[in-house]
Amino acid sequence: MQFLYTAWTVKHKPESTVEIVGNTLAIKALRDWLQSWEKGVPKKRAAFLHGPPGVGKTVTVEALAHELQMELVEKNASDYRTEDAINRFAGLASQYGSLFGGKRIVLLDELDGLMGNADKGGVKAITNIVKTARSPIVLIANNAFNPRFRTLRSYCILIEFKKPSASTILKNLQRICEREGIQPEENVLKFIAQRAEGDVRSAVNDFQALAQGKKQLTYDDVSWLAHRDRQDSIFNVIKLIIYGRTSLGAKKALDMAAVDLDMLFEWIYENVPAHFTDSHDLAEAMDALAMADVYRGRIRASQDWSFMRYVVDYMTAGVAMARQNSKVSGWVPFRFPSRIMMLSRSKAERAMRKNIGLKIRRKCHISVSRASKEVLPYLRIIFKNNTPMAAGIAKWLDLDSEMVEYIVGSKAKTGAITAFLS
């Protein structure tokens, strides 16, 4: 059974520019330019918004269209790569007002998708349309300074969107907490905001993945994020692989991730079952992952790294091409690998057991392993049932309060034991 959720990036999308996180000056610049059309066609007939992903470029255009009562005609430029396709959509839309005679904004998002071999006259067509547009055109890309945009830039006003501060993202997460009725522990939201590194959308996605279905959120629930590398959001990388349309596109997604290949394999393995709705597609995808795992095993056994190309092919292109009949129905969240999460959460516990074992070893002259397996269980019984004796043992072993709390499993009991020591 597939559980569908509403993405919080959609559910809590800003309804006005006041709710947009950061970039106040950029929003004002775009608003001023749009309002300048009321006095006639300006010298620059297009605005080129640029900046890193997830900082509010698209949502700003949508909010301003609503506030200024303008019809928004919005498409991803990467879906209209040829000159004919661009002209059919943007060319016509830029020359006429709305159906009821109102004002119109033409938005072409994701211009980065027109780069390289994917651009079949698209950038040239957009440039020609901008020259004669009779309605404001807004273009969006992560990098406006790609050499392919050189001519296009000269006909646009450039508006840069920057990464907002962690404190600004924190306020947005607090707003979502209030709406969802979630009570997080202190520093939980701050941690998520800092890990997002200025990517508002990623922060909200992370928060939903962690808090979905919960009313309480503890630091233990989010601490595993510290073990996650982020070059591009891992959610974006997995999406490009699982929903990839071409083998080459799925393989290129590998270059966008900073996580190592083994971690990426765990991400794909965890999420494939939830995102393939057709049983035959799922069987094909899992078979591809099984083959990738076979070659991973051969590499470990033989240290022959020439097998790596097969691992990459099967876990990226093999998975992507398995999707034939699976349909996208609603939003299905990407989940952190449960096996990695379990190891991350138990890492601190293993370290604590080892440190206590070292304390016992110094006094009892036994191995750390034996101390953990044979002595620690008896310490737990003593610490839970005999406070004075527990205090004496803690002092003899030189245990700190965290070690005592780990053994006794209760803050209140820990306080009673440490009270005997003072």
What was the pLDDT predicted at 229? Answer: 46
pLDDT 10s digits, 120-172: 577 888 888 888 888 899 999 988 888 888 899 999 999 999 999 888 999 99
Higher-confidence position of 208 and 284? 284
Confidence of residue 1 (pLDDT cuts 50, 70, 90): very low
What was the pLDDT predicted at 83? Answer: 60
Least confident of 9-23, 34-48, 196-210, 328-342: 328-342
Question: Which one, of 145, 142, 137, 165, lies nearest residue 54 by Cα?
Answer: 142
Rounded to the nearest integer, the mean pLDDT of the chain is 82
Structure token pair of residue 45:
């007939």
Least confident of 45-49, 107-111, 356-360: 107-111
pLDDT 10s digits, 185-194: 878 898 888 8
Among the four given CATH numbers 1.10.3720.10, 1.10.8.60, 3.10.50.30, 1.20.210.10, the one describing domain 166-227? 1.10.8.60
Rounded to an integer, the average pLDDT of 407-421 is 85
23-160 belongs to CATH 3.40.50.300: yes
pLDDT 10s digits, 222-239: 766 655 544 446 777 888
